[in-house]
């Protein structure tokens, strides 16, 4: 009975999490514009999505912004994690605690603070400030994704490579980076997700004419359009496929290692 209750609870949580997304996907194929009735299966909103220049411009901005922010924050975060790993225990603990602050801080506080900082340095709000703000809140997540991999790394292998004549750069390239690569990839993917998802920080640090998807939906005078259902479904499907590919590759690697 106890095992049955655990399974029922688990499936209830899954339904609670994914039922809204499934509802959105179903209504993206609804021919009727109204959300209160089913007008039949149709690809109407997917067709109109690709003919809506406003949404497509916001989508391009969102993707470019997410990729740039994820790449830059991953490089900075990885280098910062390597530096922290080599630093003293007291300094490392203090810096890691400081790293937690942007993650625990309210988005509205971070957004307003960054806006005031950009204004103080007389930077015009636009794509550059939007990119800088996204890099700022993505870096801590990258650091905290890479650090556990550095703690779990066999330090003696790195030292053996140095003893055998490898330079510091060669040892990091051949030994350290392959070991922490899963953490780097996790930080990169998490940064993309956070960048696409963010609204509050983006809203305070963007300028006229620069909108990502979240800002476009929020500032739409007619509310959420059916085209947004189609776009959200495509984005959910793309993320799901990406996660499946990564999990399949990881499973193949673990199988090869076991053999």
- 70 HSE (CA, 13 A, CB side): 20
- 188 HSE (CA, 13 A, CB side): 16
The predicted model scores a pTM of: 0.82
How far apart, in whole angstroms, are the C-alpha atoms of residue 186 and residue 184?
5
Residue 149 pLDDT greater than 90, yes or no: no
Digit-coded pLDDT (tens) for 214-253? 888 887 766 677 888 888 888 888 878 877 877 777 677 6
What integer pLDDT is reported at residue 139 of this predicted model? 92
Alpha-carbon distance values, 98 to 136, 141, 143, 149, 244 (Å)? 13, 12, 12, 20, 34
How far apart, in whole angstroms, are the C-alpha atoms of residue 170 and residue 175?
8
Digit-coded pLDDT (tens) for 41-68? 888 888 888 888 888 888 899 999 999 9
Residue 89 pLDDT greater than 90, yes or no: no
Mean of pLDDT values over 168-183: 82
Where helices occur in 36-176 by DSSP H, the ranges are: 44-50, 53-86, 89-104, 107-120, 127-151, 155-163, 168-171
How far apart, in whole angstroms, are the C-alpha atoms of residue 99 and residue 175?
26
Give me the CATH code for the 55-248 domain, please.
1.10.3720.10
Domain ranges in the chain? 55-248
Say which residue the tokens 């510091």 belong to: 168
């Amino acid at each position: 009975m106890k095992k049955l209750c655990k399974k029922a609870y688990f499936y209830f949580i899954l339904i609670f999490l994914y039922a809204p997304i499934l509802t959105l996907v179903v209504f993206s194929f609804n021919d009727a514009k109204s959300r209160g009735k089913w007008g039949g299966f149709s690809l109407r909103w997917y067709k109109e999505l690709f003919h809506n220049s406003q949404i497509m411009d916001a989508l391009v901005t969102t993707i470019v912004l997410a990729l740039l922010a994820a790449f830059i924050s991953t490089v900075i975060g990885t280098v910062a994690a390597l530096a922290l790993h080599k630093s003293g225990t007291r300094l490392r603990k203090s810096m890691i605690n400081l790293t937690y602050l942007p993650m625990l801080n309210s988005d509205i506080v971070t957004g307003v603070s960054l806006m005031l900082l950009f204004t103080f340095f007389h930077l015009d709000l636009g794509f550059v400030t939007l990119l800088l703000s996204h890099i700022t809140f993505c870096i801590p997540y990258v650091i905290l994704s890479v650090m556990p991999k550095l703690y779990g790394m066999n330090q003696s292998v790195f030292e053996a490579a140095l003893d055998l004549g490898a330079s510091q750069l060669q040892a990091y390239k051949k030994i350290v980076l392959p070991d922490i690569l899963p953490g780097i990839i996790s930080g990169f993917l998490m940064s993309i997700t956070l960048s696409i998802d963010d609204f509050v920080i983006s809203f305070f640090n963007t300028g006229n004419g620069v909108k990502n998807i979240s800002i476009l939906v929020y500032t739409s005078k007619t509310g959420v359009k059916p085209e947004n259902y189609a776009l959200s479904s495509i984005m959910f499907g793309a993320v799901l496929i990406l996660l499946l590919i990564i999990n399949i590759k990881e499973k193949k690697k673990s199988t090869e290692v076991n053999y």
